[in-house]
Chain A
């Protein structure tokens, strides 16, 4: 069963617009961890942010912010004032405490295209 759902396949924005990426997860564990990774056209996977299940505080880090809502099992990610360099595929990932550490379950990814 799909445990991480990224319903948006592709989002296109014009530079300086904000873009929000949706992530919905499914788990029965009370302890779990959520991550966002970026995969630029060059192909590498770059860690962006993480959140523990017991910490619902939402934060802002530079142009990135995230909204973790346990009640709706969502972990959305926003890029403010997008730039062309933000063009990439963004993956949401879940790690459950009942799995061995590092067994991440990735969503299908959302392609973000930022045009000048």
Chain B
């Protein structure tokens, strides 16, 4: 069964550094997303992406965050200058589109900011 792939599984970075989290969505999916989960808390929406542009973003997704689909397969989340509170599990997801299609999540990247 096709799946969403995320790399790396764990990223450790120092405060103020830039990080790029990478994702390969399911190939025939058109909608892409990033969610995050701070340890022990609920899963929170960050951003949705369709047709090479952001469809919607949450309050969390401020100017420090950006997303990009640099080629036909990858979907990246960049955090320009990491803060301690950015430490979380970041999930990439994709879906076929509307009509109640579910989100298929990757295994996540655990980001630790020290």
Contact = CB atoms under 8 A, between A and B. Distances in A.
A50 B31 CA distance: 18
A28 to B, nearest CB: 18
B32 to A, nearest CB: 8
**A-side interface size class:** 20 to 34
Scoring A42, A45, A47 by chain B CB atoms within 10 A of each residue's CB, the highest score goes to: A45
Nearest to B46: A103
Contact of A101 (B42, B43, B91, B95): B95
User: Taking chain B's interface residues, is the majority helix, strand, or loop, or is none over half, making it mixed?
Assistant: strand
A102 interface: yes
Interface residues of B, number: 28
Nearest to A47: B102
A3 to B, nearest CB: 11
Contacts of B35: 104
Interface of B: 31, 33, 35, 41-45, 48, 55-56, 58, 89, 91, 93, 95, 97-98, 100-108, 110
9 contacts: A43-B110, A44-B105, A50-B100, A93-B43, A100-B48, A101-B95, A102-B33, A104-B35, A106-B43
